[in-house]
Amino acid sequence: MSADRDNLEAWLREHPAAHDDLADLLRLRELYQSVSPPMPEEAAWNAVHARLHKALGQIPRPRPWWAIAAGVAAAAILVALLIPSWWTTSVMVPTGEMPVPSGLRTSQLGETSVSPVGKRGQRVVEPFPVAEPGDVTIISMDARDVAALVVGEPPVGGDLEFARPEDVRLIRCERCPFSGRQARPEPGEEVLMFVAAAAVAPSNE
């Protein structure tokens, strides 16, 4: 502080006009300090003081270190108990199905609802819908993340169907050279299947 004062005094000696400005400023401050604002009554101070105590009393007091340590230990035990349960339900279950968003229009899937259990009985994880697509506005993003950004609706909402069963005509089907089995078309209601016929026994003739 004394160094600051020395520097200031040296500078003021070199700039007399600034010295006058400073003197004026100090006189102005003295004028304002001489006419203080009207002070509140003691009752008003007491009211403020009481409100402060009340407001601060509603704020939780800082907890002692042993309480914090006990909380951390309890949290660690809880995590230790929950990890095996989470491991068996989430990691050990095979996931052959893609997760189905619960907010997806189920008519596109040909179903009336989305079951939490997949077609093969595996567990389907439903993400928690936090917003509709129209609710999201991307303001900015890191350029390195652009490649991961998917914008717009998927081109096909339902099952990807290349052809109807009646669109398929079998022109030629060769017998399997290893098993000797012959495949033939088996028209179903929705899906065309090819079923291998029983192997032809070699003829002794």
Partner 1 sequence: MATLTAPCPHDASDEQLLACFAAGQRQALDELFRRYRQPAYRVAYRLLGHEADALDAVQEGFLKALTHLHGFQGRSSFKTWLLRVVSNAALDLGRQRGRRDAVSLDAPHPKDLPDVHLLTIDEAGRRLERDELRQLLDKALDCLSEVQRQTFVLFADGELSYREIAEVMQTSIGTVMSRLFYARRKLRHFLNERGLL
Binding site residues, partner 1, CB under 8 A: 4, 21, 24-25, 27-40, 44-45, 48-49, 51-53, 55-57, 59, 61-62, 64
CB 22 within 8 A of CB 12: yes
Minimum Å gap between C-beta 55 and partner 1 is 5
**DSSP 3-state helix, strand, coil percentages of the chain (rounded to 5)?**
45, 5, 50
Output the smallest distance, CB 9 to partner 1, in A: 14
Rounded to whole angstroms, the Cα distance separating 171 from 186 reads: 14
Q: Choose among 155, 100, 141: nearest CA to 123.
A: 100
Task: Report in angstroms how near the CB of residue 112 gets to partner 1 at its nearest.
Answer: 53
In the bound state with partner 1, the residue whose beta carbon lies nearer, of 39 and 80, is 39
Closest CB to partner 1 among residues 59, 131:
59
Amino acid at 188: G
Nearer residue to partner 1 within complex by CB, 36 or 85 = 36
Whole-Å CA distances, 183 to 169, 175, 178, 179: 14, 7, 13, 11
Query: Which residues, 6 or more positions from 109, have their beta carbon under 8 angstroms from its beta carbon?
Result: 100, 158, 159
Q: How far is the CB of 31 from partner 1 (least distance, A)?
A: 6
Quote the least distance from Cβ 23 to partner 1, whole Å: 9
Handedness of CA 46, 48, 50, 56 (dihedral sign): negative
CB closer to partner 1 out of 44 and 199: 44
For partner 1, give the closer residue by CB, 7 or 115.
7
CB 183 within 8 A of CB 196: yes
> Which tokens is 133 given?
């697509």
Nearer to partner 1, 65 or 178 (CB): 65
Shortest Å distance, C-beta 14 to partner 1: 16
